[in-house]
Amino acid sequence: MDIQSIYQKTILFAAHKHSEDNQLLPDSQLPYVVHLSNVAMEILIAANNTKEFDINFATQIALLHDTLEDTTTTFDELELEFGTEIAKGVSALTKNNTLPKEERMLDSLNRISFQRKEVWAVKLADRITNLQKPPKSWDSLKKRKYKNEAETILEHLKDANLYLENRLRSKIEEYEQYFD
């Protein structure tokens, strides 16, 4: 299947799942699928700047990366629709809500480390996309914690994708403009 067909099939699945409870971007009336397409855009551009990069696999992971965490989608459903490797990649990117909040990111980063580099790249692309203007409700401490978490992601997933590493490093620096 060509990348365009893969993209269409996957984004339609993800858009349907994220629209079930009318998920929107924070501080916006835009549908959540905008975030997913932005993460996929980062992956598509990174693929053009990266040798030996499975664009089909990475694009599917990018579009599906929040389905297990934020929708009623199950691992089995993802596995049936997209295959075991996709389901495992999305699962690694999913925070374990049974753990204390402060342990969830490191747990996810550890699980990501056992996946293909494309999964690592999606985590970098996700944080790049999320380092936009923070929600109005975030205080200075929350913003700083989010920046620190981005630095932790960068440190743990270095050597995943040089293009995305440099993008994330730059976005972290730009994010400092939002500190009070």
pTM greater than 0.85:
yes
Residue 119 banded pLDDT, cuts 50, 70, 90: very high
- Residue 74 region by backbone torsions, left for phi larger than 0, else alpha for psi between -120 and 50, else beta: beta
Residue 121: which of 154, 144, 148 has the closest Cα? 154
**Strand ranges (DSSP E) for 1-134?**
none
Q: Tell me the residue range of the domain where 77 lies.
A: 3-178
Q: 138-175, pLDDT tens digit by residue?
A: 999 999 999 999 999 999 998 889 999 999 999 999 99
The total number of structural domains in the chain stands at 1
Q: If 0-12 CB within 10 Å is exposed, 13-18 middle and 19+ buried, where does residue 100 land?
A: exposed
Is pLDDT above 90 for 20? no
Residues that are catalytic? 69-70
Q: How many Å apart are CA 121 and CA 112, to the nearest integer?
A: 10
Instruction: Report the CATH number that the domain containing residue 18 is assigned in CATH.
Output: 1.10.3210.10
